[in-house]
Amino acid sequence: MLYAVLRCAPQLDNASDNKSRWMLGFFAWLVKLGWVKEVRLPMMMVGHTHEDIDALFRRIAEYWARQGR
């Protein structure tokens, strides 16, 4: 038996693709199937990275740029 996830909260950037009817329909479909009980769509502010790892690599790239690499 499959158990439903209580809450789905994917980390999304604020691109229009993430707010399209297809994306919203997909999450609505997951709820309708009973696979998830609730979907929250947190959107990051414009200009901010949407992946935590991107922020780490940005800092590494900045360090290398200061070192002349």
What is the pLDDT at residue 67? 86
- Spatial CB neighbours of 17, under 8 Å, sequence gap ≥ 6: 23
What is the pLDDT at residue 2? 63
Q: State the alpha helices, DSSP H only, in 1-67.
A: 21-33, 52-67
Q: What is the pTM (predicted TM-score) of this model?
A: 0.58
Taking only the tens of pLDDT, the chain with its 69 residues reads: 566 678 888 877 777 888 889 999 999 999 999 889 899 888 777 666 556 667 777 788 888 888 876
3-class DSSP state of 38:
strand
Q: What are the angstrom distances between the C-alpha of 63 and each of 1, 39, 49?
A: 50, 38, 18
